[in-house]
Structure 1
Amino acid sequence: MTRFVRWSALGAAAALLMAGCSSGSSDEGGGDKGGGSTSPSGSGLPTSLTSQKPDWSECGATAGAPAPGDDWRCATLKVPLDWSKPGGQTIDLALIRSEATGGDRIGSLLFNFGGPGGSGVDTMPSYGSYVSALHERYDLVSWDPRGVGASEGVRCRTDAEIAAAEQVDATPDTPAEEEAFLKDAADFGAGCEESAGPLLAHVSTQDTARDMDLMRQVLGDTKTHYFGISYGTELGGVYAHLFPENVGRLILDAVVDPAGDTFAHAKNQALGFQRALDNYLESTGEDPAEGTRRITDLLTELDSRPLPASDDRELTQTLALTGIVLPLYSESGWPSLTSALAAAEEGDGSELLALADGYNERDPSGGYGTTTHSQRVISCLDDKQRPTLAETKRLLPEFEEISPVFGPFLGWDTAGWCHDWPVPGQVDTPEVSAPGAAPILVVGNTGDPATPVEGAQRMADELGQGVGVVLTWEGEGHGAYGSGSDCVDSAVNAYLLEGEVPEDGTVCQ
């Protein structure tokens, strides 16, 4: 089970619907050596980087998405492998773009859909219909961040190894299960190191934020206009801290709490998912406390007696919990949760397993996507903390008190996620203060399960007075824009298209 906070709204929606372009990248040891004179722009970067002219050409299909329509073009961007050595080895990032459809063009609007580990190249074309109003005046641009998809994407395990790991108990009850839990975590890290090599130490959020500013220069934009969702809000905050003078119009939607450490993030998510579960149960007419007990009983039973499911597979406790998580990302998924829980209580785990497969990117043939691989290598390089088993076990009662359903899983995850990781983490919490930056619109919604609404205010506080502007929607699901609120959509569009900043603290009902 992975950290739920790292999943974007669109990624979860796509997975619910289940239950582009490729480009070459340099070899690990054979990338462009860069060098040459430095840019006259004052960036201090070699002109071989800042003067790049992307070769926008027809996009092909990828492992994650079919070829997009003719309106989309793909290219590659060379960036330094190691930003402390900008004239050294480079890697290639995969980009996708659709030019503005109308007149009075503002510039490029960069999108990051979350994860970390989500492919912008795969996701951007399908998201285009949500932002057609923005497309009139912006070139829509996204990319696969370093370590993701076609940008030196990391694969840490084979499909068979992933399937085997799904059988590891994510809430171990015995010393033997604890040993297997930690061994699985260490094995995953070793596989990532073998796959990524030197790249493993250069896939941080700070690295990607620096890539973004080079992207701005190459695209010909004076300022960076940006739409970040979920983890993309953390990336946006880090970018604003590093380059406050280059901040244009930035939207941060479904906001990660930048002040939270490893334990705080896990507790935030336990709170958020329990809150979403309570709202779901109330919508069905069931008392949330009683419904929570019913689901907890089901999970407890599955811990020792997995349910039979389709294709001769079994629904384990961990897979059931994953299947419950997915439909909580969007209110439109609630009916599927009702059906899947009812089937499981009747002895058939197939529906919950199908939901878990959607979350885990498992296709009908047993192949798995690699979003969670990239997710883990990025977050474990970002996160400096490495909680021990003893530290986690001491805090488990607190997690269980917050949420009997999600607390145990998220608590144990703190010990296993980056256990015995091959490279050290960088920071306890990301630095997002951005004094002098233009106003940044920070959007949260009260029913968000993965990034609870409290994170939006904390992000605004960390960005600084006069920079972070909070807009709150009293709604459900992960992410507010495009989720059914005319109030939110109008405010975001006015900000991005006209530069109109709403009053701080505005609430959309």
Structure 2
Amino acid sequence: MRRALTTVALTAGLTISLAACGTSTGTSGDPTPGSSGSTPAGSAASDKIAWGACTDLAVPEGSTATPDATLQCGKLAVPLDYNKPDGETIDVAMIRIPAKGPGQRIGSLVFNFGGPGASGVDTMARAVKAFGTLNARYDLVSFDPRGVQRSRGVVCGTGKDMDTYVSLDTLPANDKTRAKVRAATEQFTRLCEKDSGPVLPYVGTVNAAMDMDRMRDALGDPKLNYFGMSYGTQLGAVYATKFPKNVGRTVLDAPLDPSVTLEQRTLAQTKGFQQAYMSFLKDCVTQGCELGDSVETADRKIEDFMNKMVVSPLQVGDRQLTQGLASTAVAAALYSQLSWPFLESALSSGFKGDGGALMYLADTYTGRRSDGSYSTEMSSFPAITCVDTAERPGREELLRTEEAALKISPLFGNAGAGSICTLWPVPGSNEARKVNAKGSGPIVVVAGKGDPATPYQWGPRLTAQLKTATLLTYEGEGHGAYLSGNKCIQGAVNAYLIDGKIPAKDASCPA
């Protein structure tokens, strides 16, 4: 789940740690061929997927790694508008890594890595080794959801337009800054409508869940085995609510509570990022910190640096590191405790006038490539977020939200995604905010105590809403537990997905 910075928001980063865990008990429903499942909505059967070589994977800057030779890519045609199943179609891009063994193949395991707006195709290609244990028994499958990258990705202007938008300053928090942000947001939304207008009404989570059921059928699986992270937990919850009889083994890691309002989401995430920021500073001082010899000193230096950037941004090549980009860089590094040493070094360099490392963090976060182009992530996020809610906050509500957020964190406080949804060119619906999964197979929800982007309280709340869910708690830092490297979490999740062992009630894993 991305956190709003100015008027856009940031993705799910996935973290690391280790420890031992509580026992598991119980067995999930059998997801192997032969179990009952229903046909996909609007069709007796889905089109099949023509798998072939992956020819357009995004390679991280400077990477020399060779893609896994077993990667397969393909496309699945689905209705653009499910109310017109025989009308215009949209191609959903997919990727698959066939099960490698040893052991009998269970079926497909479909991933969504978050956002909303992250490319599952690119992420899956880079994350194969992280899921090696699961790949022994499952075909690993992911996709670019509708409105993302290869699947009619939402575009809002040129790379230069995006440069202007993501570099907006958020300080000082006064009427002049708010007016600049609103004007820039109005321009951004006009570009979204101009470049992607026809697809905008159809990119929400409900339609993406319908697409996943088409995928399940095309993959030949009677039930959908699913691993959702961050925003992917909301997608999984919506799927389980719409297609409960088709739910196989399902893990929801770093859960989002879809019932929260835009204001509640903003304040919870602001609190989460401020807590992660203070944990970073405390850890830095304990280890011997380049930023200062106390938390108070380091915090003051960072605050002074950010204020200075409003007046004197740092030159980085032919670009400028603004306060807005520097704040984005800090937020990006707080998603994972593994990034803390790099953040310390990047800020220290920034204090000395070198903004290159902070610019790198910001670019990684916003999806900016070295050639000045962008992935669709920063455009897909508001497109999906705003279609998934009927809320369109007025100015008084946005100001109230911002003032409350700034009291929590002067660095991260702002009006959140409500700023852009107010101006979004198509209406939204609350259907994706109502989940229950009644009648589905067992679901495992994994929530982290130190998660900045999806605060821990959302885990118990989503578990309660999903009548068939069990909560597994991770006591560590960072956004996402499975990819933190924590052996306890990985062991419990693997035991469920491979052997059907459901974690015991109130099970937890220490950091």
Alignment of 1:106-255 (within 5 A): 106-171=106-171, 173=173, 175-255=175-255
State the shift of 1:347 in Å: 3.5
Q: For residues 392 and 172 of structure 2, what CA distance do their matches in structure 1 show?
A: 19
Q: After superposition, what is the alpha-carbon deviation per residue over 1:342-378, rounded to whole angstroms, capped at 9, x for unaligned?
A: 2223343333222212212223333322211111211
Check whether the contact 1:307–1:349 (CA below 8 A) recurs between aligned residues.
no
Distance 1:462 1:52, change over 3 A: same
- Report what 1:302 is aligned to: 309
Q: For residues 366 and 46 of structure 1, what CA distance do their matches in structure 2 show?
A: 42
Check whether the contact 1:384–1:428 (CA below 8 A) recurs between aligned residues.
no
Q: Greater helix percent: which structure? A: 1
| Match of residue 329, structure 1, among 310, 335, 358 | 335
Q: After superposition, what is the alpha-carbon deviation per residue over 1:253-296, rounded to whole angstroms, capped at 9, x for unaligned?
A: 11112231101111111111111111111112265455434423
Residue identity in the other structure for 2:315? A
Alignment of 1:342-491 (within 5 A): 342-407=348-413, 411-427=414-430, 430-464=433-467, 467-491=468-492
The number of residue pairs the alignment matches comes to 474
Moved more, 82-91 or 233-242: 82-91
Which blocks of at least 5 consecutive residues in structure 1 are unaligned? 14-39
Check whether the contact 2:405–2:415 (CA below 8 A) recurs between aligned residues.
no
- Report what 1:59 is aligned to: 54
Distance 1:290 1:425, change over 3 A: farther
SS of aligned partner of 2:334: helix
Distance 1:227 1:62, change over 3 A: same
Distance 1:172 1:83, change over 3 A: farther
Moved more, 428-437 or 250-259: 428-437
Q: For residues 191 and 64 of structure 1, what CA distance do their matches in structure 2 show?
A: 27
Q: For residues 6 and 251 of structure 1, what CA distance do their matches in structure 2 show?
A: 22
The higher-RCO structure (CA 8 Å, 6+ apart) is: 2
Q: For residues 50 and 464 of structure 2, what CA distance do their matches in structure 1 show?
A: 41
Q: After superposition, what is the alpha-carbon deviation per residue over 1:460-497, rounded to whole angstroms, capped at 9, x for unaligned?
A: 01112xx1111111112111113121110110000000
Check whether the contact 2:392–2:422 (CA below 8 A) recurs between aligned residues.
yes
Q: For residues 254 and 283 of structure 1, what CA distance do their matches in structure 2 show?
A: 23
Check whether the contact 1:309–1:315 (CA below 8 A) recurs between aligned residues.
yes
Residue identity in the other structure for 2:75? T
State the shift of 1:390 in Å: 2.3
Residue identity in the other structure for 1:55? A
- Report what 1:46 is aligned to: 43
In angstroms, what is the RMSD of aligned CA positions? 2.3
Tell me the TM-score normalised to structure 1 length: 0.87
Moved more, 164-173 or 467-476: 164-173
Moved more, 215-224 or 176-185: 176-185
- Report what 1:34 is aligned to: none
Distance 1:366 1:254, change over 3 A: same
- Report what 1:340 is aligned to: 346
Tell me the TM-score normalised to structure 2 length: 0.87
SS of aligned partner of 2:503: coil
State the shift of 1:383 in Å: 2.1
Residue identity in the other structure for 1:46? S
Check whether the contact 2:114–2:230 (CA below 8 A) recurs between aligned residues.
yes
Q: After superposition, what is the alpha-carbon deviation per residue over 1:225-271, rounded to whole angstroms, capped at 9, x for unaligned?
A: 00001110110111111111111110001111223110111111111
Q: For residues 237 and 170 of structure 2, what CA distance do their matches in structure 1 show?
A: 32
- Report what 2:277 is aligned to: 277
Q: For residues 262 and 475 of structure 1, what CA distance do their matches in structure 2 show?
A: 26
Distance 1:108 1:261, change over 3 A: same
Alignment of 1:308-319 (within 5 A): 308-319=314-325
SS of aligned partner of 1:74: strand
Identity of counterpart residues, as a percentage? 42
Check whether the contact 1:121–1:143 (CA below 8 A) recurs between aligned residues.
yes
Check whether the contact 1:172–1:181 (CA below 8 A) recurs between aligned residues.
no
- Report what 1:33 is aligned to: none
- Report what 1:3 is aligned to: 4
Alignment of 1:68-107 (within 5 A): 68-102=67-101, 103-107=103-107
Distance 1:364 1:96, change over 3 A: closer
Which blocks of at least 5 consecutive residues in structure 2 are unaligned? 17-36, 286-292
Check whether the contact 1:119–1:145 (CA below 8 A) recurs between aligned residues.
yes
Q: For residues 198 and 133 of structure 1, what CA distance do their matches in structure 2 show?
A: 41
SS of aligned partner of 2:407: helix
State the shift of 1:307 in Å: 3.3
- Report what 2:31 is aligned to: none
Check whether the contact 2:76–2:94 (CA below 8 A) recurs between aligned residues.
yes
- Report what 2:267 is aligned to: 267
Q: For residues 268 and 116 of structure 1, what CA distance do their matches in structure 2 show?
A: 18
Runs of 4 or more above 6 Å deviation: none
- Report what 1:257 is aligned to: 257
Residue identity in the other structure for 2:89? T
